Amino acid sequence: MNKQTIDQVELSGKRVLVRVDFNVPLDEGKVTDDTRIRESLPTIKKIMQAGGKAILMSHLGRPKGKKNPDMSLMPAAVRLAELLGRPVTMAPDCIGDEVVKVVNAMQPGQVVLLENLRFYAEEEKNDPEFAKKLAKLGDLYVNDAFGSAHRAHASTEGVTQFIKPAVAGYLMQKELEYLGKALANPARPFVAVLGGSKISGKIDVIENLLGKVDAILVGGGMAYTFYKAQGGEIGESILESDKLDLAHELLGKAESSKTDLILPPDSRVCDELKSGVATSVSASDKVPSGKLAADIGPETEKLYAAKILAAKTIVWNGPMGVFEIDEFASGTRKVAEALVQATKAGAVTVVGGGDSAAAMEKFGLAKEVSHVSTGGGASLEFLEGKQLPGVVALTDA
């Protein structure tokens, strides 16, 4: 990464405007998963210990440009204060005279959290005037919100036009290092495990990885569009009929590339997607009429685990089945467990955010792999080979 980092700038006495990703789940005003807050601690602590003033900004949920008390960042401020063991001042807003007063009253080592950026529609519109108001709050800018780096918003891209230097925080560095190294200079064999319900969400990833990885292991609902494209019987399994030609084309591209595109040979099938339902195993291209596939089968689990354990670099994005329902969590769990074993054997294992990260948390395995990304959409776009606006906007090293 040829961008300046937080270690290359003077922080003492400076107002440090930090974009964090505190878009955390809430229940009755309490944070139910503080992973993203914990991941931001090294950057925040660095600023505090260096005698800087940490002014944090984030979005939460989708308030659609209107102030909504249910989407206040106050619960995140409370949790952050608990984790730091120090007070965190909650600003009344993210821009305006009152916020300026709060920032001006800060002492070195103190932390202020601004209110939800998305209470203003100008944030997502990347409005220059809004970005300028944010920039006025800091002497320098740190982006530590990888989960929002794929969005060109006022707080991720626009603000960098008005405040320099704009540098990467520790979480941003870690994300780019793991994902970047995996793609640019991987130890081989290099295996990508791609799941999720739809091909449409993974087309660009598959196309970008063909020729770069040694194998792509396909799971989740998107496998059945591939099978249908080959003339298979998929019963009531998820199908994107408008993507059949594309699926056929991708299979052809894979055949002429150095990458093995491997589809699941068997699947767990059922009559309907619900807890407690009876399941059976079927060949993935011979799903009985009236049945639908909801997870990879035991043969696929063994095959995929063997491929993962033989690899030196593994990137995983997307579950193997409907893991939220216990009857269909086995495939995703077995992939997660294989990743843990591969990590112990010395492989670099990167889990690309979103549902895969949620699965790792559910199985209690998130700490057992090399890296779990905090950014679902951002990690996906990185794997697609796209440039992330929030990264591009940072000051060159």
pLDDT at 316: 95
pLDDT at 1: 65
Q: What is the pLDDT of residues 184-198, one digit of tens each?
A: 889 999 999 999 888
* pTM of the predicted structure, to 2 decimals: 0.88
Q: What is the pLDDT of residues 155-181, one digit of tens each?
A: 999 999 999 999 999 999 998 888 888
Which one-letter amino acid corresponds to residue 379? S
pLDDT at 281: 98
pLDDT at 240: 95
Q: CATH says 186-383 is which class? A: alpha beta
Q: What is the pLDDT of residues 359-383, one digit of tens each?
A: 998 999 999 999 998 887 888 888 8
Please check whether residue 295 is in contact with residue 268, taking contact to mean a CB–CB distance below 8 angstroms: yes
Q: Residue ranges of the chain with pLDDT lower than 50?
A: none
The number of helices, as runs of H, and strands, as runs of E, in the chain is: 14, 19
pLDDT at 354: 79
Among the listed residues 55, 16, 60, 38, the one whose alpha carbon sits nearest the alpha carbon of residue 168: 16
Catalogue the active-site residues: 36, 198, 354, 377
Q: Is the dihedral of CA 85, 82, 61, 149 positive or negative?
A: positive
pLDDT at 378: 86
Among the listed residues 187, 303, 207, the one whose alpha carbon sits nearest the alpha carbon of residue 252: 207
Domain boundaries, the chain: 6-171, 186-383
pLDDT at 305: 98
Fold agreement between 6-171 and 186-383:
yes
What CATH topology corresponds to 6-171? Rossmann fold (3.40.50)
Burial zone of 38 (CB within 10 Å; 0-12 exposed, 13-18 middle, 19+ buried): middle
Could you tell me which residues are beta bridge partners of residue 27? 30
